[in-house]
Amino acid sequence: MRLLNCFLGILVVSIGFWLIWGTVAPVVVLGWAVVVGAFLWLKATSITEIWAWATLLLGLESFAWPVVLMIQLKGQSESLPEAEMGTILSAVVLGLFSSVFWISFSYGLFKRAWRTDQPSSEEEYEPTRTSLSRSRKKKVV
């Protein structure tokens, strides 16, 4: 099951990389997939950690997308046409929104993965019951 989730995580991160660098050669995307696969296989010890790392990488890719688009659209002239400025604005808004979402999601997954690795405080804590009669003394009138 870990192998299947690792493969799916690699697929998600590689598609995100391909969407950012649309004009890059497929060999580069394949190389990125191999690097991410090796990283996920060696670093993640559980399925939750695999998806935590995959969503973190997807969030970083979403954050880099507007920057890459600005670099690609920068032409010879100093000023950009209005249509390209609109494209950059929507890329910045969508890129920042999606990067915040995916990084926050990965934070939650990391928190869940690290919580399950450590013994839970609920398992160690066994409350003792005391009766109300022992804890409160009745007043005699």
CB 22 within 8 A of CB 65: no
Closest CA to 73 of 26, 23, 13: 23
pLDDT in tens, the chain (141 residues): 889 999 999 999 999 999 888 778 889 999 999 999 999 999 988 999 999 999 999 999 999 988 888 887 776 567 777 888 888 888 889 989 999 999 999 999 999 988 865 554 555 555 555 555 555 555 555
Assess if residue 140 is contained within a domain. no
Assess if residue 137 is contained within a domain. no
Which residue's structure tokens are 């497929």? 26
CB 38 within 8 A of CB 59: no
CB 116 within 8 A of CB 48: yes
- pTM of the predicted model as reported, rounded to 2 decimal places: 0.74
Assess if residue 63 is contained within a domain. yes
CB 95 within 8 A of CB 62: yes
Domain that residue 75 falls in: 2-116
Assess if residue 129 is contained within a domain. no
